[in-house]
Amino acid sequence: MERSSMGLKLPEGMKDLMPTELALLEELEGKALKTCHNWSFQRVKTSGLEYRACVEPDANQDDYLYKFFDKNGHIIVLRPEFTTPIARMVATRLKGSQLPLRLCYSGDVYRNGSTRFSEFRQVGVELIGVGSDLPDAEVIALSVEIMKALEVRNFQISLGHNGIFSGLADEMNIDAKLRKELEDGIARKDMVKLEGLVSQSDLPEAAKEFLLSMPHLTGKEEVLDKLQNWNHIQAIRRAVESLRTIYQFLKDYGVQDYVSLDLGILRGFSYYTGAIFEGYLPGVGIPVVEGGRYDKLYEDFGYNSPATGFAINLSILLEQFSEYEVENPEVLVYGQSPGAVVKRCRELRKSGKRVEMALGFLTDTDAKKIASIRGIPIVEKVEV
């Protein structure tokens, strides 16, 4: 049956990859995983399909999931990220393992509603079992080393802490609706929205000033000094102490030049509880690296364990490389006897050569022309 015009299109946010693009994506993926392995992270794979009860247990929660029903009537979703499925896997399959666990992964994730990246390739890590600041520094440093291994230029990691905003919100008893709106305004650095929300609230003036300052609290470790007046709030004091410690560890790792503090970062996933970080490239409006600490997530699966990690969006990085060449065949083999041509191709491939076999009769001129067009350096004619 002839396809309709819809059958010739891709759904919004999806993309086909041509040979050169896929080759580059797989090279980036391989380099990233090799770096992870050098840091003692072991690769795991989760299912591309999950029950919604795993990924989003609240059926009334707005989400970005691709959903459908299985034959038993259960809601199934395409994997939107790896952190939650890996938490499920660890809680059910690796519960008795020696901690810490260092796990890495790569694969495609799917997010409904995105106009640009509804499907994209992620590579990332999960460091499970230690709740101190050193693991946070380790995964941040590893994200930097991966970006360097991928030869990504001019990237910058922004580091913040969930405890700063949540500590203030809890202290001021900010209601859930206003809290969500403030989070959105701060995270987007939308000063118009933020000023409107703050001016209409009944918060103390000092709290209003602090909220309005959060999107601008950026820089190196000295920016933490600006929070001294809020040390009486335990959550904020602990967040500041944690950031100071992490930043010192990042100096020990030698990656501090790639990391700046941004106390207005508020990560989109609800499970983050501590240090949070994002990596950006010039001219790219969405983060290419996303990570942080999530010490409560594993409790949802009946396994009480702290954890931290990150994911890198390789599909964004793929767009940053303008030129890439796949490896062309090394030899074009042709001749009048198909059997003899097949046999010679087998011999060459066995010796490690990349071989293209002519699928029909070629003249010598045609063979040389095809080889020239496809960048094949050697042309071999099989004589019977």
Among the residue ranges 11-15, 80-84, 89-93, 367-371, the one predicted with the least confidence is: 11-15
- In the predicted structure, residue 268 carries a pLDDT above the cut 60: no
Predicted pLDDT at 60: 67
Predicted pLDDT at 148: 97
Q: What is the mean pLDDT of the chain?
A: 93
In a domain, 218, yes or no: yes
What's the half-sphere exposure (Cβ side, CA atoms, 13 Å) at 246?
A: 32
Identify whether residues 209 and 294 lie together within a single domain: no
Identify whether residues 267 and 369 lie together within a single domain: no
Identify whether residues 143 and 287 lie together within a single domain: yes
- In the predicted structure, residue 324 carries a pLDDT above the cut 80: no
pLDDT tens digit sequence for 167-188: 999 999 999 899 989 988 998 8
Predicted pLDDT at 1: 82
Predicted pLDDT at 260: 96
Identify whether residues 49 and 148 lie together within a single domain: yes
Identify whether residues 29 and 84 lie together within a single domain: yes
Predicted pLDDT at 266: 82
In a domain, 1, yes or no: no
Identify whether residues 273 and 291 lie together within a single domain: no
Reference 88, options 47, 119, 125, 122; nearest CA is 47
Predicted pLDDT at 183: 87
Instruction: Please return the burial class of 16, using the count of CB atoms within 10 Å of its CB with bins 0-12, 13-18 and 19+.
Output: exposed
CB 328 within 8 A of CB 370: no
Identify whether residues 103 and 44 lie together within a single domain: yes
Q: Which residue has the higher pLDDT, 269 or 335?
A: 335
Identify whether residues 231 and 123 lie together within a single domain: no
Identify whether residues 185 and 307 lie together within a single domain: no
Reference 348, options 334, 365, 327; nearest CA is 334
Mean pLDDT of 295-309: 94
> Which domain covers residue 354, as residue numbers?
331-382
* Amino acid, single-letter form, for residue 17: L
Query: Which ranges of the chain would DSSP assign to H, the alpha helix?
Result: 19-38, 52-55, 83-93, 133-149, 162-171, 176-187, 191-200, 205-213, 234-253, 314-318, 338-350, 364-374
DSSP per-residue letters across 220-267: SGGGGGGGGGGTTSHHHHHHHHHHHHHHHHHHHHT-GGGEEEETT---
Q: Which residues of 318-346 are buried (b: 16+ CB within 10 A; e: fewer)?
A: bebbeeeeeeebebbbbbeeeeebeebbe
Cα separation of 11 and 252, whole Å?
46
- Say which CATH number the domain at 148 has: 3.30.930.10
In a domain, 4, yes or no: no
Mean pLDDT of 257-280: 87
Identify whether residues 32 and 139 lie together within a single domain: yes
Identify whether residues 14 and 145 lie together within a single domain: yes
> For residue 238, what are the contacts with CB-CB under 8 A and spacing of at least 6?
163
Cα separation of 308 and 142, whole Å?
12
Band (pLDDT 50/70/90 cuts) for residue 270 is low
CB 54 within 8 A of CB 116: no
